[in-house]
């Protein structure tokens, strides 16, 4: 056993989707335990049902962990990296360091909840305190419900119910200092996890676009609050930097929604104050989607609306799917979005809707195929937001866009990219002869989509 310097036993804080020091209730609780603190990140690719991370997520995770290790080092403790099934690794570390308590912030996917619940029981049985905390959602699924105690299925009443609840708590300060063990527990070498791509190295665009880590996340929040928030009314224009780009930060918990919420409450320039509520409404969509996930654990694989089980999706030849993935469909706005995604790991929200709609409606491809591609390529790929938004676009989801409302990518482009700044940035050859003809006729494929929808409706009526 590694010995502790104080008489109080060490506490382990197990970080997961909360790679930050400030406003981290689990970390604060571990410090309040009074003894040394062991900070653990566990790469769990073994527990049943935990979805394997996509490539872009692995890239982000690597860099965010490196930043976290650095920041923790400044506070005097190392980041302990371990790999394996939580049910085995966490109790082993407890034994190794003689921990008296383990703290973590809650997760909301079913497999993760099952892992956490089983671990909590096992630790309690061994006489170890195990506590879960509220760090990743302001409105946990069981706290915001309809009058009859059901989860909300529609966003606007959910949002109103959130607003009628007590204000989310103030963010917690970062601990000033952390007490380490006398002898640091052994840790994996981050590089040995091979989270970064090597051959081919497709991450150059990600490196150019992002600086993962808590300090960068706080800087982005501050810059947005005092800058582009004022332009949030232009958030549907993909060539404008009018949105926060906080999504990977919230996904990885480099910043908490509590910090975002409270930053919007004070010290904003006048023009930004008007936009803050609209921005927070979007942040609460994230909370709504987690509520939907909590009530529908198989959101990434099952239609939320079961009548869509009868939808006559088409099997597209691999080469055609590849045109969508690589952005060579011949539809400029779709191609621009798919290339922005591939290059930077992020795509503007309006264009996410257009590219997703094109796949499920103009190409009649099952939304799960697109969800998987986004899962692999988005740096903000999220167990709740990704499937919920795909199902929203497909019409099969909670509070979804009706299937028969088919986005026309050309009209969307003329409305939101009238000067073609976005399309020209990502598809510089758009006006050249080399640019391909559209892979489908938009009008005809729209009609076919509506026919397919009618077929489903007749089958399920
Ligand atoms: P801002 O407009 O600045 O919004 C602030 C925050 O609010 C975001 O960071 C995000 O956390 C939240 N938010 C905004 N819009 C939504 C939304 N529609 N649903 C849920 N939360 C929202 N978002 C993800 O975080 N992860 C995903 O995996 C994801 N997949 C998507 C897939 C599709 C098909 C679509 C249409 C949307 C998806 N979104 C996803 C939602 C949205 O596109 C992104 O959250 C947004 O583009 C992030 O940019 P931003 O941080 O600048 O947004």
Query: What domains are there in the chain, each with its CATH number?
Result: 11-136 (3.40.50.620), 137-168+211-295 (1.25.40.80), 306-456 (1.10.579.10)
Q: Which has the closest alpha carbon to 103: 159, 161, 38? A: 38
Mutate to test the pocket of ligand 1, among 387, 389, 412 (most ligand atoms within 8 A of CB): 389
Q: Which has the closest alpha carbon to 390: 417, 416, 367? A: 367
Predicted local distance difference test score (pLDDT) of residue 2: 44
Q: How far is the CA of 127 from the centre of ligand 1 (A)?
A: 41
Atom 33 of ligand 1 has which residue's CA nearest to it?
Answer: 389
Residue 6 has pLDDT above 90, yes or no: no
Measured from the CA of 353, which atom of ligand 1 is nearest?
36
Q: Which two tokens stand for residue 215?
A: 């300090």
Predicted local distance difference test score (pLDDT) of residue 132: 98
pLDDT band at 461 (very low <50, low <70, confident <90, very high): confident
Measured from the CA of 378, which atom of ligand 1 is nearest?
28
Whether cis (ω within 30° of 0) applies to the bond prior to 200 is yes
Q: How far is the CA of 131 from the centre of ligand 1 (A)?
A: 30
pLDDT band at 5 (very low <50, low <70, confident <90, very high): very low
Catalytic positions, written as ranges: 282, 285, 313, 349, 367, 390
Residue 221 has pLDDT above 60, yes or no: yes
C-alpha distances in angstroms, 26 versus 263, 287, 355, 364, 414?
21, 20, 39, 45, 48
Predicted local distance difference test score (pLDDT) of residue 404: 85
How is 219-268 classified by DSSP, letter by letter? Answer: HHHHHHHHTGGGGGGGTT-TTS--S---HHHHHHTSS-HHHHHHHTTSS-
Atom 21 of ligand 1 has which residue's CA nearest to it?
Answer: 286
User: Is the distance from CB of 35 to CB of 11 less than 8 angstroms?
Assistant: yes
Measured from the CA of 232, which atom of ligand 1 is nearest?
2
Atom 37 of ligand 1 has which residue's CA nearest to it?
Answer: 389
pLDDT band at 36 (very low <50, low <70, confident <90, very high): very high
Which residues sit with their C-beta closer than 6 Å to ligand 1? Answer: 235, 243-247, 250-251, 282-283, 285-286, 289, 349, 352-353, 356, 374, 378, 380-382, 385-386, 389-390, 393
| Site of tokens 């988005």 | 378
Q: Which residues contact 83 (CB under 8 A, 6 or more apart)?
A: 42, 43, 44, 45, 89, 188, 193
Predicted local distance difference test score (pLDDT) of residue 389: 98
Please compute Rg for the chain using Cα positions: 23
Is the model more confident about 375 or about 401?
Answer: 375
Measured from the CA of 380, which atom of ligand 1 is nearest?
26
Burial bucket for residue 72 (CB in 10 Å: 0-12, 13-18, 19+): buried
User: Is the distance from CB of 11 to CB of 97 less than 8 angstroms?
Assistant: no
Mutate to test the pocket of ligand 1, among 247, 345, 370, 386 (most ligand atoms within 8 A of CB): 247
Q: Which two tokens stand for residue 4?
A: 């502790």
Predicted local distance difference test score (pLDDT) of residue 130: 98
Helices in 148-203 by DSSP H: which ranges? 155-163
Q: What is the pLDDT of residues 85-138, one digit of tens each?
A: 999 999 999 999 999 999 999 999 999 999 999 999 999 999 999 999 999 999
Measured from the CA of 375, which atom of ligand 1 is nearest?
28
pLDDT band at 3 (very low <50, low <70, confident <90, very high): very low
The three-state secondary structure class of 102 is strand
Measured from the CA of 347, which atom of ligand 1 is nearest?
47
Range from 98-107, 372-381, 397-406 carrying the lowest mean pLDDT: 397-406
Predicted local distance difference test score (pLDDT) of residue 270: 92
pLDDT band at 4 (very low <50, low <70, confident <90, very high): very low
Q: How far is the CA of 247 from the centre of ligand 1 (A)?
A: 6
Atom 44 of ligand 1 has which residue's CA nearest to it?
Answer: 349
CB count within 10 Å of CB 190 equals 19
Predicted local distance difference test score (pLDDT) of residue 405: 87
Average pLDDT of the residues in 395-403: 88
What is the pTM assigned to this prediction?
A: 0.97
Burial bucket for residue 307 (CB in 10 Å: 0-12, 13-18, 19+): middle
Average pLDDT of the residues in 193-215: 96
Mutate to test the pocket of ligand 1, among 282, 293, 347, 356 (most ligand atoms within 8 A of CB): 282
Q: Name the DSSP letter for residue 229.
A: G
pLDDT band at 18 (very low <50, low <70, confident <90, very high): very high
Atom 23 of ligand 1 has which residue's CA nearest to it?
Answer: 385
Q: Which has the closest alpha carbon to 209: 419, 63, 53? A: 63
Q: Which residues contact 195 (CB under 8 A, 6 or more apart)?
A: 58, 59, 61, 62
pLDDT band at 401 (very low <50, low <70, confident <90, very high): confident
Q: Which has the closest alpha carbon to 90: 50, 57, 121? A: 121
| Site of tokens 């091979």 | 194
The pLDDT > 90 percentage for the chain reads: 95
Q: What is the pLDDT of residues 236-272, one digit of tens each?
A: 999 999 999 999 999 999 999 999 999 999 899 999 9
Q: Rounded to an integer, what distance in angstroms lies between the CA atom of residue 127 and that of residue 100?
A: 8
Predicted local distance difference test score (pLDDT) of residue 1: 44
Query: How far is Cα of residue 149 from the mean position of the Cα atoms in its chain?
Result: 27
Mean pLDDT of the chain: 96
Q: How far is the CA of 7 from the centre of ligand 1 (A)?
A: 46
Predicted local distance difference test score (pLDDT) of residue 403: 84
Residue 149 has pLDDT above 90, yes or no: yes
Predicted local distance difference test score (pLDDT) of residue 245: 98
Q: How far is the CA of 384 from the centre of ligand 1 (A)?
A: 11
What is the side-by-side strand order in the sheet with 11-15? 79-83, 37-43, 11-15, 101-105, 129-133
Average pLDDT of the residues in 63-75: 98
Q: How far is the CA of 284 from the centre of ligand 1 (A)?
A: 10
pLDDT band at 390 (very low <50, low <70, confident <90, very high): very high
Average pLDDT of the residues in 383-405: 93
Residue 192 has pLDDT above 60, yes or no: yes
Q: How far is the CA of 54 from the centre of ligand 1 (A)?
A: 17
Q: What is the pLDDT of residues 307-329, one digit of tens each?
A: 999 999 999 999 999 999 999 99
Q: Name the DSSP letter for residue 17.
A: S
């Amino acid at each position: 056993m590694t010995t502790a310097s104080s008489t109080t036993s060490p506490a382990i804080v197990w970080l997961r989707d909360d790679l930050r020091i400030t406003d981290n209730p689990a970390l604060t609780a571990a410090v309040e335990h009074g003894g040394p603190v062991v900070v653990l990140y566990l790469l769990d690719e073994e527990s049943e049902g935990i979805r394997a991370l996509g490539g872009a997520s692995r890239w982000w995770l690597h860099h965010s962990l490196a930043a976290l290790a650095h920041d923790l080092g400044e506070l005097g403790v190392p980041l302990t990296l371990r790999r394996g099934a939580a049910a085995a690794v966490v109790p082993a570390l407890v034994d190794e360091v003689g921990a008296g308590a383990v703290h973590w912030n809650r997760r909301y996917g079913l497999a993760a909840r099952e892992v956490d619940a089983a671990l909590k029981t096992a630790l309690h049985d061994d006489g170890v305190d195990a506590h879960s905390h509220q760090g990743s959602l302001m409105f946990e699924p069981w706290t915001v419900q309809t009058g009859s105690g059901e989860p909300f299925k529609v966003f606007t009443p959910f949002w109103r119910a959130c607003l009628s609840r007590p204000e989310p708590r103030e963010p917690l300060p970062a601990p000033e200092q952390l007490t380490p063990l006398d002898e640091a527990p052994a840790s994996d070498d981050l590089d040995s996890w091979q989270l970064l791509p090597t051959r081919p190295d497709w991450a150059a665009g990600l490196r150019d676009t992002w600086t993962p880590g808590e300090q960068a996340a706080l800087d982005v929040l501050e810059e947005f609050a005092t800058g582009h928030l004022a332009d949030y009314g232009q958030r549907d224009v993909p060539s404008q930097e009018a949105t926060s780009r906080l999504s990977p930060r919230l996904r990885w918990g480099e910043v908490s929604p509590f910090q975002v919420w409270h930053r919007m409450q004070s010290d904003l320039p006048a023009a930004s104050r008007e936009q803050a509520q609209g921005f927070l409404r979007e942040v609460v969509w994230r909370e709504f989607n987690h509520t939907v996930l909590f009530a529908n654990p198989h959101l990434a694989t099952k239609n939320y609306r079961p009548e869509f089980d009868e939808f006559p999706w088409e099997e597209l030849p691999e080469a055609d799917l590849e045109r969508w993935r690589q952005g060579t469909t011949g539809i400029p706005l779709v191609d621009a979005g798919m290339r922005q995604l591939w290059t930077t790991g992020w795509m503007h929200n309006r264009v996410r809707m257009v590219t997703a709609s094109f796949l499920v409606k103009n190409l009649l491809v099952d939304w799960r195929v697109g969800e998987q591609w986004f899962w692999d390529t988005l740096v903000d790929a999220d167990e709740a937001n990704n499937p919920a938004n795909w199902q929203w676009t497909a019409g099969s989801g909670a509070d979804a866009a009706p299937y028969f409302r088919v986005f026309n990518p050309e009209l969307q482009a003329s409305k939101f990219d009238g000067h073609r700044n976005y399309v020209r940035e990502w598809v510089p050859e758009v006006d050249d002869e080399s640019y391909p003809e559209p892979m489908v006729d938009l009008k005809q494929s729209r009609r076919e989509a509506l026919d397919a929808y009618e077929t489903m409706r007749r089958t399920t009526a």
